[in-house]
Amino acid sequence: MSVALAPHDAAGGNVSSELTRLGLLAEEVKEAQENRRRAGDGLLAAQERLRNATAQVEAAEARFREACPVAFGIMPNRANTHPVEDWIAQRCDVSDRLAATRSTHLYRDFIEWAVATGLPQCEPARWPQTRFGRELTDRGFASRKNGGGYTLRVGIRLRGEA
């Protein structure tokens, strides 16, 4: 005979207290299962939020990489060497993508370097500051103004400067 259907056990005792206890345990199991289900739903929601946040970070980095590729160590491929590329390779540090250097400091150093090389394509008269700035922009060094109104180049600094 089933315990749930028998009002008395085999010894003739009352089983209603046992049934009550089993009913309470069954409710406890249902509540624990519901808590586990809610926790699982919470975990799935947290995982989804993490995936969304990761996708946002990746998208922002991709936009930044596209706007300033040199900041990520991506130098454009060029068949011929170029004076600005040679100057960057010899005199600049591009390892810190958050570095910001005043454009005039970079330009003055470039002109000093160009005069020292003596190469015809490095003739200072051929390199006004506007052209130099365009060349830096073409190589992924974005420009911005600081609080004092000075133009800075992002992702580049002269070697030996902090």
> CA–CA separation, 83 vs 31, rounded Å?
74
The CA–CA distances, whole Å, from 157 to 42, 92, 97 equal 47, 6, 10
pLDDT surpassing 80 at residue 36: yes
pLDDT surpassing 90 at residue 16: no
66's tokens: 């596209």
**What residue spans define the domains of the chain?**
1-67, 70-158
What is the per-residue pLDDT across 46-73, written as a single tens digit (0 to 9) for each?
999 999 998 898 888 878 877 776 666 6
What is the per-residue pLDDT across 125-154, written as a single tens digit (0 to 9) for each?
888 999 999 999 999 999 999 999 999 999
Q: What is the pTM of this model?
A: 0.51
For residues 141 and 98, the answer to whether their CB atoms sit within 8 Å is: no
* CATH-assigned architecture of domain 70-158: Orthogonal Bundle (1.10)
* pLDDT of the residue at 3: 47
91's tokens: 């005199």
